[in-house]
Structures are given as structure tokens and as C-alpha cells.
Structure 1
Amino acid sequence: MAINLQKGQRINLTKENGTTLSQACVGINWGAIEKKGFFGGVTREAVDLDGSCILYDSNKNATEIIYFGNLKSRNGAVRHSGDDLTGDVNGDDGLDNEVITIDFSNLEPNVEHVALVLNSYKGQDFGTIPFASIRIYEGTPTNVREVFAKYDIANDASFKGHVAMVMGVFYKRNNEWKFNAIGDPTADRKLQETIETVKQKYL
């Protein structure tokens, strides 16, 4: 099952052999901003991007928020690797700076939507970051089985001038999990605003 979704595409995550998705991750990799120094050198400005996961019930109420200030859901089904405050300062190391892991089999029964969002904590424009890529995949950080969606927000002109985005939403229909690859920048400045934007526009 080779998958590489474009923005706005949706898929059913039941596999060809009839089994359903059990684990998924979102990995975010980005670099520090490079600025020319006075004497021809280059200085690097730390970039603090924050990946977050919001759990919503059937009434579209946010029941839990997993982010840098709350690194796991109450039952441990969603886990955040921790806050990266700088990005890659020595060029792209190819590794994810932040990873959110979702265990669908252990989510609370009332969870109907699992939204993945990204915010620039200091308000640094996505368009000024030298590289920033996102991938949403089945498996674990050490065992990537299938990549569902990839976004290159540093080199996509639609992200210029924005500091927040909705990466995608997993949603449950008839007890089966499906995925909506959204990849939209938003006008939000803070995480709380993005949580409300998801509720109003993407669930």
C-alpha cells in the first residue's frame, strides 16, 4: 500500500489484509535561521517550532492537548518526544526534531478526531526557515512502515507569512480510522487559536 497523499486527500487506513492501523507518528525536522553577519560570516537564529496533537470528542470538544507542556495523554496513548527550542543549527541532519506518536488501540473510546498542528512559538515566519519538513507515517520513529503525507513548508510559497498550520486529522468513522491530509497554513498566532480553527473548519 504505497501512499503519498496530496493536500485535501483522504484515505481509509484499513490495510489490504484487513487489519487496521495501530500506530502513527508525525515527525518534524527544521533548521535554524541563517543570517549574514557584519563581516561576511553567518549567524544562526534558533527556531522553536511546536508540534501538537489535539484530541476531540464527537461534539468537537477538545478533550486533551498533547504539546511541549503536556508530553503524554492521560492514558499514554499519545506521546510527544519533547520541546526542541532551536532546530538544526549545523545544517539538516535528516532527523526529526520533534515526534508525536499515536497508539490508536489505546485511545479513549470517546475520541473521534486526532488533529496534528504546528505553531511557531516565537512567531517566526515559516518562509524564513531554511528547511522545515513534516512527515506523517505509520509505525514508530525507529520503524517507519508507510509515509502517508509529507509537507515541505520552508519551500512552499503558500506558507510564507504564516506561523501556524494544520498538518492533518485522523478521524473515526464506523470504528475505522481514516486520515485527512490537510497541510493548510492558518492565520493563527497561538496554539489555542489553532485548536479553535481546527474545530471550526477541519472536523
Structure 2
Amino acid sequence: MGVTLTKGQQVSLEKSGGGDLNVVRMGLGWQAAPRRGFLAKLTAREIDLDASAVLFAGKEAVDVVFFQHLISNDGSVHHTGDNVVGGAGQGGDDESILVDLPRLPAHVDQIVFTVNSFTGQTFAEVQNAFCRLIDETTGQELARYTLSGGGAYTAQIMAKVHRIGGTWNMSAIGEPANGRTFQDLIPAISTHL
């Protein structure tokens, strides 16, 4: 069982039995919040959130993986594809980004994971949003961060995986932001590097 993180908390991703993590998957999930009232079903819209992974060398963004650029330039990070409707109550990962840690270039020391509403819907219309990190080799969930509360913002800087010495760590950020794409979030991300 993985560690449930709270906003601002950090956890080492070093394997408890020794050995190195190789491929990790950042899974993101969400559901459309139920709408109330007589016209709720007629006015309900699907929620299209987009997961992105921004790769940093120090404080400089050097690459990004998102729905229009599914594989990093060096091939170490891979987005599995765009989900335009969310979980609809299924509880699984709606979008996943795979990171091959040994293949990451040595200068990449941080990967920040974001979620944004390309269609401009706010998180007040979203429920059960989470990100979780899984050891892709074993399928074991290493850490999970659950977004609590909604809000009138259109994006969330969810978490980052970062290298400290030779050890990878995950930090839950949980910072609300506004923007339709990862580019809109770069100023907000920079405060967490």
C-alpha cells in the first residue's frame, strides 16, 4: 500500500527492499461532479482535463509531455493518450504518464505534473481528482495525492517527482492555478522548483 500525501508533503521513492525504481507511472483521475436541479441532465457536460509532465533542468523547462506531444524528445517520458470525459465513476486512472527514470537525461532533475481544463471548466465541476505514482514493474502504488475541494480555478499543479542526490522523491503540491494549457502554468510552476 502506498503513502497518502497531504499538500506539501514529500516522500522518498527509494524501494523499501533496496534496488532502484525503473519505470513509474503517474496516474491521474477525476469525475464530473453531479449537477443538481431540474435541468441538470440537460446542461451537464463531460469534463476534459489534460495531464502534462513538464521536465526541468534546475529552473529551466527543457521538455514537456502532454496530449499534443505524447513522447519526450529523449523518449524517457510517455503520455498514454488523451481522455476527454474523465472517470464517470470508474475510479481508475483517466490519463497516465510513464517515466523511465534511468533513461532521463542527467540534467533533468524535476518533473512537474499538472492537470488543466482545456475547455475552461472549473474544478468546482470536478470531484474525486487524484494523482498517484505506481511502480510500473510491480504495479504497486507508491504514493497518492487526492485533491480536496473544488474551486473557481481551471488548473492544478498536482505533484512533482524530483531527484535529491541519487534518490527520487515525490512531493504533493496541490496548488490551484488558472490556465487552459501547461504553458499558462509555467509562472505558477516556477514557485515550486
Range into which the TM-score falls when normalised by the shorter chain: 0.7 to 0.9
Task: Give the conservation status (yes or no) of the 8 Å contact 1:51–1:98.
Answer: yes
Paired residues in the alignment total: 192
Map 1:31-180 → 2, pairs under 5 A = 31-32=31-32, 34-35=34-35, 42-43=41-42, 44-58=44-58, 60-88=59-87, 91-129=88-126, 131-140=127-136, 144-151=139-146, 153=147, 156-157=148-149, 159-180=150-171
Letter in 1 for 2:54: I
Q: Which moved more, 1:12-21 or 1:95-104?
A: 12-21
State the shift of 1:161 in Å. 0.8
Which stretches in structure 1 are left out of the alignment for 5+ residues? none
SS of residue matched to 1:198: helix
Give me the TM-score of the superposition, normalised by structure 2.
Answer: 0.87
The Cα offsets for residues 59-82 of structure 1, whole Å up to 9 and x where unpaired, read as x11110100000011232111111
Structure 1 partner of 2:28: 28
Percent identity (aligned): 29
State the shift of 1:168 in Å. 0.8
State the shift of 1:194 in Å. 1.0
Structure 1 partner of 2:16: 16
Which stretches in structure 2 are left out of the alignment for 5+ residues? none
Q: Whole-Å Cα distance in 2 between the matches of residues 183 and 144 of structure 1?
A: 24
Q: Whole-Å Cα distance in 2 between the matches of residues 101 and 167 of structure 1?
A: 16
Give me the TM-score of the superposition, normalised by structure 1.
Answer: 0.83
